[in-house]
Homo-oligomer: A and B are copies of this chain.
Amino acid sequence: MHTVFYVSDGTAITAEVFGHAVLSQFPLPFEQFTIPFVEDVDKARAVQARINESYHQSGKQPLVFHTIVDDELRRIITDSDAMCYDFLNTFVAPIEQQLGIKAEPRTHRTHGMENKQHYDARIDAVNYALDNDDGVNTKEYDEADIILVGVSRCGKTPTCLYLALQFGIRVANYPFIDQDMSRLSLPPALKANRHKLFGLTIDVNRLQEIRQRRRADSRYAAIDQCRYELSQVEKLFRMEAIPFIDTTYHSVEEISVKILERTGIRRRIY
């Protein structure tokens, strides 16, 4: 098995996310190691030694994906015996040429706190999602960018948290309860914010499986109960013209991006 090292002077999250995207096109397993915060010569040399040792032990040339700004530290890594792929600088030179200006490399540029105001807004969005999770509080809906609605355990909470953490968007969520479903009507707090509503639905067997893991053999996890709730809620979505998507085969990333696409809400990029 080939070994892959993600090496960075920062968190290495960029190297990881991008390296993972590139490698997922290869039908091979890889052993992956992440080495963040390589910020001085001693640490860089230790990383070089570790990479070379891995080559020596396995007999297979390791792959190194790196995002290191400092020239000297980068050279220590690329002087290792691995195949080194330089994620940042490969693109920096042609972009410099297009824009007609020089790059000004800085560390901790991507996942740091350079812009405190942006960062605080993002953490506020996380707190907003928690304070307005699961219908516990319906008084702050005027501050929401989006309000997710659907049956219990259809994917609302993880989606709210992802939208907050990744994109700084304020998302509340409200689980339809028996009363809403039997009456087929929106509670007043939702009616007043109808334009912010977005529905999630899910396949009945997948819902049953998720609820069963949560509360085994309860009425809540019974297939008939799941079927009833989903059919009522989808009726309500249609009656009230609430846009909705099926979460069954989609990750939180895909669900989040689909919601932004449908609502036209701009992502904030951090």
Residues of A in contact with B (beta carbons under 8 Å apart): 2, 10-14, 16-18, 20-28, 32, 34, 36-37, 61, 63, 67, 69, 83, 85, 87-88, 90-92, 94-95, 98-99, 101, 103-106, 108-113, 119, 123, 126-127, 130, 133, 157-158, 161-162, 165-166, 249-254, 256-258, 261, 267, 269-270
A126 touches B95 (CB 8 A): no
Q: Which single member of B18, B99, B109, B130 contacts A87 (CB below 8 Å)?
A: B18
Instruction: Given A21-B67, A261-B36, decide whether A26 and B104 contact each other with a Cβ distance below 8 A.
Output: yes
| Inter-subunit contact B14/A249 (CB<8 Å) | no
| Copies of this chain, count | 2
Please indicate the chain B residues that have their CB under 8 angstroms from the CB of A258 in the complex.
37
Given contacts A83-B94, A85-B95, 14 further A-B contacts (CB under 8 A): A10-B254, A11-B254, A13-B257, A17-B17, A17-B18, A20-B110, A20-B269, A21-B67, A21-B110, A36-B257, A83-B95, A123-B252, A126-B158, A161-B165
Once the chains bind, are A257 and B37 in contact (CB under 8 Å)? yes
CB <8 Å contact, A101 and B63: no
CA distance A174 to B200 in the complex (A): 32
User: Judging by beta carbons under 8 Å apart, are A104 and B253 in contact?
Assistant: no
Contact call B25/A109, Cβ cutoff below 8 A: yes
Query: Who on chain B is nearest to A34 by CB?
Result: B267
> Least Cβ distance of A164 to chain B in Å?
9
Offer 21 A-B interface pairs, CB within 8 angstroms, sorted by A. Answer: A17-B110, A18-B87, A21-B67, A21-B110, A24-B106, A25-B69, A25-B104, A26-B95, A26-B103, A27-B104, A28-B99, A36-B261, A37-B258, A63-B95, A63-B98, A83-B98, A90-B91, A127-B158, A130-B133, A130-B157, A158-B165
Cβ-defined contact, B22 with A95, below 8 A:
yes
Give the nearest-CB partner of A67 in chain B. Answer: B21
Contact partner of A101 among B28, B101, B252, CB < 8 A?
B28
Which residue of the partner chain B has the closest CB to A108? B254
Q: Which residues of B contact A63 (CB under 8 A)?
A: 95, 98
- How far, in angstroms, from A2 to B127 measured CA to CA in the complex? 34
Cβ of A158: which chain B residues have Cβ within 8 Å of it? Answer: 123, 126-127, 165
- Give 4 closest A-B pairs by Cβ, nearest first: A111-B253, A24-B109, A25-B103, A11-B257
